[in-house]
């Protein structure tokens, strides 16, 4: 028996001493394998007397179990150690920077145009379009600018060579010619907006030879200036994302509207920013009015039957106001630094349900 105890101690010491799985397996084979020392002891049972066999057999089995347990435990330990060692070799520096992720941008003009479309779309407007290259008829004459009238000079017009019929060809000075194209091409009721490029030969700190406007036109039977005022108030509040916006109508003059007005919105100016909505200052944002009877007539409609309003607003200008962009000229310089700073993310989709801006 003491022999058995000695063997157990010896094997357990060998298990503990095994430095890797191969060594451990050697220990297992030498103890528990077919020719292992424990196995050999089991083989001697047959030669023993029944009583002795019983007692010795039980003892050997207990030793065998303890050794098997010890080997299993040691195996787990060695496996864990091996995994730890492998993982240690697989370490990377996770603080290394990621690969370059190109980030696209959307131009502010696109963004505010889509914001306007979203708001006016909810008010039942649809989008109308017209060409940048216009004729004198659509840009001026049909809009009730009499030939030679000083109001034409208020628009510093870019001209192209006259067309085959000798008529003036020009770059539209405003989006209002779309009013003419829409009324001529469609039977009322009409409710459209027309954003787009416009051109005037003017260039200084606050003017660029090309800029963007959005036109609105509503033609129906009973649309009056009160509807115009409500439309602008609701637009301004939604666009500037404030609860309420102070609005002021000032009588003004445009050849194609009568009565005409300019619209100011309330604002508060501080040293280097403007807060839109409330405050004691005013900021002009658009010209508007009831469509002039001559314009309605020029489009083949009866001004006693059809009436409505129109307005035009600078898209670049309202982008500057809303997003605090200081310089109009930079809109068209395509400076990457400017575009990254003032541009919008690809997924900044303005929606009414999800909010116009982040």
Partner 1 sequence: MKFTVNWLKEHLATDATATEIAEKLTAIGLEVESVDDRGATLAPFTVAHVLTAEQHPNADKLRLCTVDAGDGAPYQVVCGAPNARAGLKVVFARMGTTIPVNGMVLKPTAIRGVDSQGMMCSMREMGLGEDHDGIIELPQDAPVGAPFATILGLDDAVIDIAVTPNRQDCLGVAGIARDLAAAGLGTVKTPAIAKIPGTFPCPVSVTLTDEVKDGPCPIFTGRLIKGVKNGPSPAWLKNRLEAVGLRPISILVDITNLITYDRARPLHVFDAAKLSGGIHVRFGRDGETVEGLDGKTHDVDGATIIIADDAGALGLGGIVGGVPSSVSEATVDVFVESAHFDPNVIAATGRRTGVQSDARHRFERGVDPKSALDGLELATRLILDLCGGAPSEVVVAGAFPADFPDQTFRPFRVEKLTGLEVPESEMQRILEKLGFGVTSTTMPWTVTVPSWRRDIEGEADLVEEIARITGLDKLPVEPMPSTSVVPVPALSPAQKRNRLSRRLLATRGMVETVNYSFIPESHAAAFGWSDPALKVANPISVEMAVMRPHLVPSLAAAAVRNAARGNTDLALFEVSGTYHGIAPKDQKTIAGGLRTGYTAPRQWQGGRRPVDVFDAKADVFALLAELGAPITNLTVAAEAPAWAHPGQSGAVKLGPKTVLATFGALHPRVARLLDLEGPAVFFEVDLDAIPAAKARASKEKGPLVLSDFQAVSRDFAFLADDSVSAESLIRAVRGADKMLITDVSVFDLYRGQGVPEGKVSVAVAVRLEPKDKTLSEQDIEAVSAKIVAAVAKATGATLRG
Residue 324's H or E segment, with its range, is: none
Complex with partner 1: residue 74 or 292, whichever CB lies closer: 292
User: If you count them, how many residues does the chain have?
Assistant: 358
Taking the complex as a whole, how short is the minimal distance between the CB of residue 218 and partner 1, in angstroms?
Answer: 7
Taking the complex as a whole, how short is the minimal distance between the CB of residue 299 and partner 1, in angstroms?
Answer: 16
Taking the complex as a whole, how short is the minimal distance between the CB of residue 138 and partner 1, in angstroms?
Answer: 9
Interstrand relation of 190-199 and 126-127 (parallel, antiparallel or unpaired) = parallel
Residue 297 C-beta-side C-alpha neighbours within 13 Å? 9
Complex with partner 1: residue 52 or 202, whichever CB lies closer: 202
Sign of CA dihedral 110, 111, 114, 115: negative
Complex with partner 1: residue 260 or 298, whichever CB lies closer: 260
284 within 8 A of 278, measured Cβ to Cβ? no
Tell the residue number behind the tokens 């020009």, with chain if given.
170
CA–CA distance, 129 with 232 (Å, rounded to integer): 21
Complex with partner 1: residue 49 or 103, whichever CB lies closer: 103
Complex with partner 1: residue 5 or 126, whichever CB lies closer: 126
176 within 8 A of 143, measured Cβ to Cβ? yes
Complex with partner 1: residue 6 or 146, whichever CB lies closer: 146
38 within 8 A of 58, measured Cβ to Cβ? no
Cβ contacts of 302-308, under 8 Å, gap ≥ 24:
305/221, 306/188, 306/219, 306/220, 306/221, 307/219, 307/220, 307/221, 307/222, 307/223, 307/224, 308/188, 308/190, 308/217, 308/218, 308/219, 308/220, 308/223
Tell the residue number behind the tokens 């050849």, with chain if given.
255
Complex with partner 1: residue 36 or 287, whichever CB lies closer: 287
Taking the complex as a whole, how short is the minimal distance between the CB of residue 167 and partner 1, in angstroms?
Answer: 10
Taking the complex as a whole, how short is the minimal distance between the CB of residue 254 and partner 1, in angstroms?
Answer: 9
Tokens of 324: 């605090």
Taking the complex as a whole, how short is the minimal distance between the CB of residue 257 and partner 1, in angstroms?
Answer: 9
Taking the complex as a whole, how short is the minimal distance between the CB of residue 46 and partner 1, in angstroms?
Answer: 58
């Amino acid at each position: 028996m003491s022999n058995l105890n000695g063997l157990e101690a010896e094997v357990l010491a060998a298990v503990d001493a095994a430095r890797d799985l191969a060594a451990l397996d050697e220990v297992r084979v030498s103890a528990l394998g077919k020719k292992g020392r424990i196995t050999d002891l089991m083989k001697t049972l047959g030669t023993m007397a029944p009583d002795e066999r019983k007692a010795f057999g039980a003892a050997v089995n207990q030793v065998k179990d303890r050794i098997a347990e010890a080997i299993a435990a040691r195996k787990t330990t060695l496996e864990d150690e091996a995994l730890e060692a492998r993982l240690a070799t697989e370490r990377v520096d996770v603080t290394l920077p990621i690969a370059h992720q190109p980030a696209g941008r959307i131009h502010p003009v696109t963004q505010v145009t889509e914001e306007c479309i979203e708001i006016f779309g909810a008010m039942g407007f649809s989008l109308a379009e017209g060409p940048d290259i216009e004729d004198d008829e659509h840009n001026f004459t049909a809009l009730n600018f009499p030939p030679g009238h000083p109001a034409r000079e208020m628009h510093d017009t870019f001209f192209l060579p006259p067309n085959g019929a000798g008529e003036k060809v020009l770059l539209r000075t405003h989006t209002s010619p779309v009013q003419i194209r829409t009324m001529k091409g469609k039977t009322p009721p009409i409710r459209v907006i027309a954003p787009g490029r416009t051109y005037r030969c003017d260039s200084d700190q606050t003017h660029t030879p090309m800029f963007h406007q959005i036109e609105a036109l509503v033609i129906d039977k009973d649309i009056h200036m009160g509807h115009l005022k409500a439309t602008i108030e609701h637009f301004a509040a939604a666009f500037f994302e404030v609860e309420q916006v102070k609005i002021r109508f000032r009588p003004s003059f445009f050849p194609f509207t009568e009565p005409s007005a300019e619209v100011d919105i309330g604002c508060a100016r501080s040293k280097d920013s403007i807060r839109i909505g409330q405050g004691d200052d005013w900021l002009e944002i658009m010209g508007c009015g009831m469509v002039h009877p001559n314009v309605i007539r020029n489009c083949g409609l009866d001004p006693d039957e059809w009436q409505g309003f129109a307005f035009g607003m600078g898209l670049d200008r309202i982008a500057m106001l809303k997003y605090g962009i200081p310089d109009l000229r930079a809109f068209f310089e395509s400076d990457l630094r400017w575009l990254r700073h003032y541009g919008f993310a690809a997924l900044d989709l303005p929606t009414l349900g999800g909010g116009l801006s982040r």
